[in-house]
Structure 1
Amino acid sequence: MRIIGGKLKGLRLNPPNNLPVRPTTDMAKEALFNILQNQVELEGIKVLDLFTGTGNVGFEFASRYAEFVLCVDRSFHCVKYVTDTAKQHKLDNIKTLKADVFKYLEQETDQYDIIFADPPYDISRIPEIATMVFDRNLLVPDGLLIVEHQSMQNLSNHPAFTEQRRYGHSSFSFFTKT
């Protein structure tokens, strides 16, 4: 894994092998950020990274000058890795929280410019993420929710769904608050 753009461009991330993760591939992440660069001013935004795992996507947002990135994961080891890596690279704009994402979403009241969710592909509650984000009003006007999921899964039945982009076995579904 590497940081593709921003102040840490080219930095290789080397998380421990024992983390319970399936990181977003560099190819898919690069495609995602190419899409985002054409739609959103990334500098100064507030980002929520759900199921952060290695923090791969959160680090990319932080490297591209997001004002604030909150990385949430239930794994102590993932949260510790993200916290330690953020400190090592002086990414003061990254904060971490150890929590079950669904319980966290039930309590959260802050709003974000972008919410990125990369849940384990085998959980059945993936479609609930968009519902919870929009029911809780967690996006600013014109905010964007991106859910990474298996390409065979279809999340287009949510009213805020705008598009799905496929990258091999993974897809990104985009939802917009209008």
Structure 2
Amino acid sequence: MRIIAGQHRGLTLASVGKGDTAAHLRPTPDRVRESLFNVLMGHGMPQGARVLDLFAGTGALGLEALSRGAVHCTFVDNGRIAQKLIRENLTKARRTGDAWVLTTAADRLPAAPAPCDLVFLDPPYGKALGQGALLAAQAAGWLAEGALVVFEDSAPQAVQGFTVLDNRRYGDTHITLLSPA
């Protein structure tokens, strides 16, 4: 797994290894990330964006956004192995100064210090955790007006109070782009 483009292009990220089966670590494959970021560029993202990476896992999505010009990323994951991988990857990329790692459940976020323009939401497949986490992030002030939400799951997603902008399928992965209504 590596950073696809931008400032850190080609940087090899920390290996998940055996990972944490209980946490369902499932990094977004390079080819899916590359396609996703091509779509995001059409929306003017992530250049200059503040990013929230919920269920961050290895942090690959948030790190890709930082590499491509995001100004800050908050990584959220309550798994110890995931937190270790995120910190290791931030250190490798020398991005610890413009990133935070929150060690909390994605649906229990503290109040946001500043709203985010781009939100990655990649919950464990089949656990129905994503919608609650997105609504909690919105309630805690993490979503900027007109924020773009990237919801990755095993099926297309719709969330009450959000407009579906696009749906893409990559094998068993579905990417749904949403925006607050």
* TM-score relative to the length of structure 2: 0.86
CA shift digits 1:30-81 (9 cap, x unpaired): 1110000111242221000011111110110111121100111011221122
CA shift in 2, pair 1:155/1:88, >3 Å = closer
The answer to whether the Cα contact below 8 Å between 2:6 and 2:67 also exists between their aligned partners in 1 is: yes
RMSD over equivalenced CA pairs, Å: 1.8
Distance 1:95 1:132 in 2: 18
The alpha-carbon deviation at position 135 of structure 1 amounts to 4.1
In structure 1, stretches of 5+ residues that fail to align are none
Distance 1:81 1:41 in 2: 25
The answer to whether the Cα contact below 8 Å between 2:46 and 2:118 also exists between their aligned partners in 1 is: no
What secondary structure is seen at the aligned counterpart in 2 of 1:113? strand
The answer to whether the Cα contact below 8 Å between 2:14 and 2:85 also exists between their aligned partners in 1 is: no
Distance 1:93 1:83 in 2: 12
Amino acid aligned to 2:4: I
Return 88-97 or 69-78, whichever deviates more: 88-97
Partner of 1:113: 117
The alpha-carbon deviation at position 137 of structure 1 amounts to 4.4
Once the two structures are aligned, what percentage of the paired residues are identical? 28
In structure 2, stretches of 5+ residues that fail to align are none
Partner of 2:173: 170
Distance 1:2 1:14 in 2: 9
CA shift in 2, pair 1:156/1:78, >3 Å = closer
Distance 2:134 2:105 in 1: 16
Distance 1:157 1:94 in 2: 27
Partner of 1:10: 10
* TM-score relative to the length of structure 1: 0.88
Match runs of 1:86-165 below 5 Å: 86-91=90-95, 92-104=97-109, 107-109=110-112, 110-151=114-155, 154-156=156-158, 158-162=160-164, 163-165=166-168
The answer to whether the Cα contact below 8 Å between 1:121 and 1:150 also exists between their aligned partners in 2 is: yes
Distance 1:67 1:175 in 2: 21
Distance 2:159 2:76 in 1: 26
Number of residue pairs aligned between Structure 1 and Structure 2:
174
CA shift digits 1:12-40 (9 cap, x unpaired): 22324132210111111111100001112
Partner of 2:51: 47
What secondary structure is seen at the aligned counterpart in 1 of 2:136? helix
Amino acid aligned to 1:176: S
The answer to whether the Cα contact below 8 Å between 1:43 and 1:64 also exists between their aligned partners in 2 is: yes
CA shift in 2, pair 1:50/1:5, >3 Å = same
